[in-house]
Amino acid sequence: MRLLFLGDLVGRTGRQAVIDRLPALRQDLKLDFTVVNAENAASGFGLTSKISHQLFEAGADVLSGGNHTFDQKEILDIINKDDRILRPVNYPSGTPGRGFQVYQAPRGKKILVINAMGRVFMNAMECPFRAVDAVLKHYRMGTHAAVHAILVDFHGEATSEKMAMGHYLDGRVSFVVGTHSHVPTADCQILNGGTAYQTDAGMCGDYNSVIGMDKDEPINRFLTKMNRDRYSPASGEATICGTFVETDDATGLAKRIEPLRIGPRLLEHMPTL
């Protein structure tokens, strides 16, 4: 299977860039499945019904989340109804929504997508390692297994925690990708057991910013420790960042992994077929 994961969409400029470019990316890369982290899509905080519809229309198959999943109140109206919208699986029991789901891909393939969130420098959550373990007890990969591929979006602050999750799941899932830092890491690799890994996919947004936000207020807060204004997404031209992975249908393990970067601020890279 050919999978594309796009990192955190930040604000209007980030989501519009993805809406504009994703249809062509699906065609050019002959993609089977696309996951987009959309927890910052609505003015930098959360997700709305309208935006989710626009992203699905553009070609996103699943929208994953993180610590800003519930920032927009209207998410509560849709997160239980639409199984294409995920929130971290290790939220406390009783939290609305779902943290994983099996989806039907083209050519009769099935893919399990799991969304989890780290605990280091983040809000208190249940253990993400045990939460993912509990899901994987019911799923194996490969031609004769329950699913053909498994993708894990691990939303976390600490690179060490993300790396630990990658190695912990190595050989059991197709792809572990980190989100949340909004900065793409240069460590695309296939781990010893055959799992594709990248510590952070980066963001889809304006990189002439402070992790997607207009620069003035973050700088002010670092200088003064005072809140002068609200954070607002930077509105310049967006760069799209993500990760492309191709898996072996027979085993579900990764055959290759490449970064994707399209836009004016970072060195561009387009996966080749």
Which of 53, 68, 144, 180 does the annotation list as catalytic? 68
Which residue pairs, CB below 8 angstroms and at least 24 apart, start in 221-229? Answer: none
Which residue pairs, CB below 8 angstroms and at least 24 apart, start in 255-261? Answer: 256/190, 256/196, 257/175, 257/188, 257/189, 257/190, 257/196, 257/197, 257/198, 258/188, 259/184, 259/186, 259/188, 259/198, 260/4, 260/6, 260/25, 261/184, 261/202
Cα 47 from Cα 69, distance rounded (Å)? 7
What are the two backbone dihedrals, phi and then psi, of residue 27, each rounded to the nearest 5 degrees?
Answer: -75, -45
Residue 138 is a catalytic residue: no
Cα 154 from Cα 177, distance rounded (Å)? 6
Q: Are 150 and 172 in contact (CB under 8 A)?
A: yes
By C-alpha distance, which of 241, 258, 259, 156 is closest to 204? 241
Q: Are 254 and 194 in contact (CB under 8 A)?
A: yes
- Which residues carry out catalysis? 68
